[in-house]
Structure 1
Amino acid sequence: MDELVDILDSDGRPTGKTCLKSVAHLNGYFHPTVHIWFYTSQGELLFQKRADTKDTFPSLWDVSVAGHMASGENPEMAVLREVQEEIGLTINPEELVKIGYFKSSHQHSDLLIDNEYHNVFLCQLNQSVSTLVKQDSEVDDLKLVSISSFQSKVNAKGLPDFVPHGSQYYQFVIEEILKRLAF
């Protein structure tokens, strides 16, 4: 879906300008997104497999929920909307913990330059994955993976089936979740 997004400068500051997401991707304009990592009290991470029809990283495993922020939307509003849209889960803003703001650049083709700043949040998942309702146009599958198993893959740089967010990003998320679990 093409939506209006806010344009950021290369340092992640708002420019006061907006454009369609497709225009931002065509011209490589920085724009804000949200990443939401769900984890369980048993030390598992929820991953989504991106739909095979996605323009970027089709059929790869990714963060629990991710999406673009609409123009004028704050990160918390975007998280609540994206979580509801992609996995059918309603959460309260108080359940969210913002852990960072990360710059990301991927040139997929001459016509798709994805320059984003990810607002990264954690949220504990308190229900079964089987109760989640995936948005078929965005998500092919959902699964839980133990943090220790995922951390081993990150350390070994063995992530060919995952979106390439980078080991530093993945390590940061893992460490922030482990702090909350006290493992």
Structure 2
Amino acid sequence: MYLYFQLRSPAKKDFPSLFDITAAGHLLANEQPSDGEREVEEELGLTVPFEDLAFAGVIQDEIHLPDFTDRECCHVYLYVHQEEQMNIQLQKEEVAGLYRAKLMDAQQLFTRKCDNMQQEVFEVDEAGERRKESKVVCVQDFVPHEPAYYQHLFQAINQFLLQ
């Protein structure tokens, strides 16, 4: 089982060229969490019906950096994709690549039981060919979410897998 991460575009204002959750966005004041499915379509070119998503909870997340504080209530949903390939079309202004790591490796990394993990590219080029690339990454290569964010996420994933 794999967990997918996006590589944020180097053009992004916040956290350029860092890895983050697969698809993310901000809801407008008049939107509901179900409207967030548009982010998956915009960023990855995937149409995922809201009914196919499993609610993993709302995670309160704060990122504190010099000259920057980000407070969010993250409505997190899981999506299980059974096929080896996904027909993705990346929104280059937002996402520079899509990578995957073994779920167990990601859990080990974010619970600090190991220092790094291997990720492989899951991006398809314009010719429909999958690029072959692998990267060794560490926690510093990711958007600096609080450890509690990842604890909640992995707890939700593990509960979902037990169903």
TM interval, shorter chain, is 0.7 to 0.9
Which among 146, 150, 169 is matched to residue 102 of structure 2? 146
Q: Distance in 2 between matches of 1:47 and 1:129?
A: 15
Q: Distance in 1 between matches of 2:58 and 2:160?
A: 19
Judging by fraction of residues, say which structure has more strand.
1
Q: 1:114 to 1:72 in 2, by over 3 A?
A: same
Q: Distance in 2 between matches of 1:68 and 1:90?
A: 18
Deviation at 1:130, TM superposition (A): 5.0
**What are structure 2's unaligned runs of at least 5 residues?**
116-138
Deviation at 1:175, TM superposition (A): 2.4
Does the residue aligned with 2:59 lie in a helix, a strand or coil?
strand
Q: Distance in 2 between matches of 1:137 and 1:126?
A: 28
Q: Percent identity?
A: 34
Which among 82, 87, 101 is matched to residue 39 of structure 2? 82
C-alpha RMSD over aligned residues? 2.0
1:65-91 deviation digits (Å, cap 9, x = unpaired): 01010220100112x110000000001
Q: Distance in 2 between matches of 1:147 and 1:161?
A: 17
- What amino acid does structure 2 have at the position aligned with 1:119? H
Match of 2:134 in 1: none
Match of 2:152 in 1: 172
Q: Distance in 2 between matches of 1:93 and 1:164?
A: 27
Match of 1:136 in 2: 92
**What are structure 1's unaligned runs of at least 5 residues?**
1-42
Q: Distance in 2 between matches of 1:130 and 1:83?
A: 13
CA contact (8 A) 1:129 1:142 kept: no
Match of 1:17 in 2: none
Match of 2:132 in 1: none
CA contact (8 A) 1:86 1:138 kept: yes
TM-score by length of 1: 0.68
Aligned residues: 139
Range moving further from structure 2, 173-182 or 143-152: 173-182
Match of 1:99 in 2: 56
Match of 1:38 in 2: none
| Alignment of 1:70 onto 2:31 | no
Q: Distance in 1 between matches of 2:160 and 2:64?
A: 34
CA contact (8 A) 2:8 2:18 kept: yes
Deviation at 1:150, TM superposition (A): 0.7
- What amino acid does structure 1 have at the position aligned with 2:160? R
